[in-house]
A and B are shown apart, each in its own frame.
Chain A
Amino acid sequence: QVQLVESGGGLVKPGGSLRLSCAASGFNFNYYFMSWLRQAPGKGLEWVSSMSGTTSYTNYADSVKGRFTISRDNAKNSLYLQMNSLRAEDTAVYYCATAVTFGGVVVRFGHWGQGTLVTVSS
């Protein structure tokens, strides 16, 4: 069955960097758009970024554009999120998820990992 396991979260100072990883199994990773979403403590869900399976197409929320970079290694069935210039408002649980697409557009999220907590604080 589909399994997504995030790692790499932790405590980081404002202005610092962190790299999240998501290990995928149970499906043909190469064929799927993948996404990162986040949820600040006690708050709602926010889409962060998406990446195509093989064409290197990427898309970002305005709140993270220019600071975060999504990437993937299909040989390792892994998705990554490089987070730079971190701010207090980036504090959240970060989820990776499989993305269902239609006409190249991400339309919904089918499977989610359990999340990894990122805390940005001095």
Chain B
Amino acid sequence: DIQMTQSPSSLSASVGDRVTITCQANHDISNFLNWYQQKPGKAPKLLIYDASNLETGVPPRFSGSGSGTDFTFTISSLQPEDIATYYCQQYDNVRIAFGQGTRLEI
């Protein structure tokens, strides 16, 4: 069964800070890991796919890395518009699972 452990659950940072969120899978998932941003009251938006690929139109301050069981999402220089909840998402042949989310505050 897919299980994702995302941390931290919440994070407070300042404009300009480097922010890091981690996601851990309970088994080797290669690079099958995506990251989404959800602003309050809005639908989620895909930012990073296959662990490290930036979705078209997403600012380069967002990045992802990792493979196997451990993954990292980074905002290199936090901007006010980055206030949101961030989710990792994994998949296998029949199931899709999201991490618990990380609420980012300034």
Contact = CB atoms under 8 A, between A and B. Distances in A.
B and A form one assembly: yes
A59 B94 contact: yes
Interface stretch (B17-25, B62-70, B97-105): B97-105
B43 A44 contact: no
A109 B93 contact: no
B91 A44 contact: no
Nearest to A96: B43
Contact of A115 (B32, B34, B43, B94): B43
A112 interface: yes
Interface of B: 32, 34, 36, 38, 42-46, 49-50, 87, 89, 91-101
Contacts of B95: 47, 61
B44 A108 contact: no
B104 to A, nearest CB: 14
Given A59-B94, A105-B91, A105-B93, A44 B45 contact: no
Given A44-B87, A44-B100, A95-B44, 18 more contacts: A44-B101, A45-B38, A45-B87, A45-B101, A46-B98, A47-B98, A50-B96, A95-B43, A100-B49, A105-B91, A107-B32, A107-B34, A107-B91, A108-B46, A109-B36, A109-B89, A114-B42, A115-B43
Interface string A93-109: 00100001000011111
A31 B46 CA distance: 20
Question: What 7 A-B pairs have minimum CB-CB distances, sorted nearest first?
Answer: A112-B43, A47-B96, A45-B98, A108-B34, A44-B101, A108-B49, A107-B91
A26 interface: no
Interface of A: 44-47, 50, 59, 61, 95, 100, 105-110, 112-115
Nearest to B91: A107
B85 to A, nearest CB: 8
B44 A44 contact: no
A115 B36 CA distance: 16
Contacts of A50: 96
A106 B50 CA distance: 13
B43 A106 contact: no
